[in-house]
Amino acid sequence: MTTVGIVGLGVMGLGIAQVLAGAGFDVLATDARAEAREGAVERLRIQVARTGGDAEAVAARLSLVDGPEAMGAADLVIEAIAEDLPAKRALFATLEEAVAPGAVLATNTSSLAVGRIAAGLRHPGRVVGLHFFNPAPVQRLVELICHAGTSDDAAATARKLAEMAGQEVIEAPDRPGFIVNRCARPFYGEALALLEEGRGPAEIDAAMLAAGYRIGPLSLIDLIGADVNLAATRSVAEAMDGHPRYHVFATLERQVAAGALGRKAGRGFLFPERPGAPPPDSDTIAARIEAALVNEAGWLLSEGGVTAEAIDRATRLALNWPRGPFDILAARGGAAIRATLAALESRAPAHLRGRYAPAPVLEAT
């Protein structure tokens, strides 16, 4: 395997191109927009130079082609186009006509089911998810998602490619949000619930910093952008049929409507302020948010196709959490987590009723 195709040269596609070309692969790339194609080599050169790499050598491995029809030489193609199911399906239909019989087609989708992207193709078995995180050259994790019909060969090829490119590969089930984007939801959601109960953003974030987190949930929304966070929240909420564990908090919607998107807008939940001293009940806040993290991971585990170790490793790597949800469960104990959830459920407002129902794994601990 030497040649990799990339379709879509936006934030993710170019980042993935940097990872692969940097690891010595020849990269064939394209984008629907001519200016994205024309500027790609220069953008890659600048990106690599910024990180102190050999910009000329890496950029020399990137070749632009006019469209997906010209990807016949690729052993594996990664799609990083717009998050739109019909567009991705149309692209894969074109790609499967263009590539060799043994070639693998990978999607970088964050929120669409890989099985739905593969459905309708002549050879759906060659489709996998290879979910890189932003910024791809910095984030070491790649989630490998196999849908029900993915062939063992395709999965093995995709894993090998990502590992040869220096990434850590963790297999994730083809469920909404996979592992990381799913398990991250309550980190934000529980902080928003606390805000709606009248707690201040600085004290919520300070409590999480005191508990060992690198960044508090509201500062993290400010960093990512409240609009990006809202889109991810809505997408998981819809895919999970509006279950109250994925409630879309009005506070987040209002924040977006007001344009207080975070750093990029100059103001957010907390930005430009910083978290202050932790409040006296700091551990109660952290215990509540962590109980929700454990519970979400527990529900994901109960759906199958993933291990507790994979969930812990993926969340620590991609989210920079000091410990994974099952490490938290071991440290705090099932009884304490259940008691926290029961107390939250007993006083949950109508729109959150059922949010704190304990996952089966908690019943067993």
Instruction: Show which residues are catalytic.
Output: 110, 131, 143, 181
x-or-dash pattern for ligand NAD, window 71-90, by CB under 6 A? ---------xxxx---x---
The single residue among 4, 5, 6, 7 that binds ligand NAD, judged by CB under 6 A, is: 7
The single residue among 5, 6, 13, 161 that binds ligand NAD, judged by CB under 6 A, is: 13
Helix (H) or strand (E) holding 214: none
The single residue among 4, 9, 103, 144 that binds ligand NAD, judged by CB under 6 A, is: 9
| Axis-axis angle for helices 226-239, 217-224 (nearest 10) | 100
177 binds ligand NAD (CB under 6 A): no
The single residue among 1, 26, 32, 43 that binds ligand NAD, judged by CB under 6 A, is: 32
Which C-beta is closer to ligand NAD: that of 91 or that of 103? Answer: 91
Residue 82, number of CB atoms within 10 A of its CB: 10
179 binds ligand NAD (CB under 6 A): no
Which C-beta is closer to ligand NAD: that of 133 or that of 246? Answer: 133
Q: Which residue has its beta carbon closest to ligand NAD?
A: 10
DSSP class of residue 267 equals B
Give the 3-state secondary structure of residue 256. Answer: helix
User: Integer distance in angstroms from the first to the last C-alpha of the chain?
Assistant: 46
17 binds ligand NAD (CB under 6 A): no
**Restricting to residues 118-157, which ones interact with ligand NAD according to CB under 6 A?**
132-134
353 binds ligand NAD (CB under 6 A): no
Q: Name residue, tokens 């850590």.
A: 168
Helices (H), the chain: 11-22, 34-50, 55-60, 85-98, 114-118, 152-164, 180-183, 185-196, 201-210, 217-224, 226-239, 250-257, 282-302, 308-319, 325-332, 334-346, 360-363
Helices (H), 103-200: 114-118, 152-164, 180-183, 185-196
227 binds ligand NAD (CB under 6 A): no
Binding site for ligand NAD (CB under 6 A): 7-13, 31-33, 36, 80-83, 87, 91, 108-110, 132-134
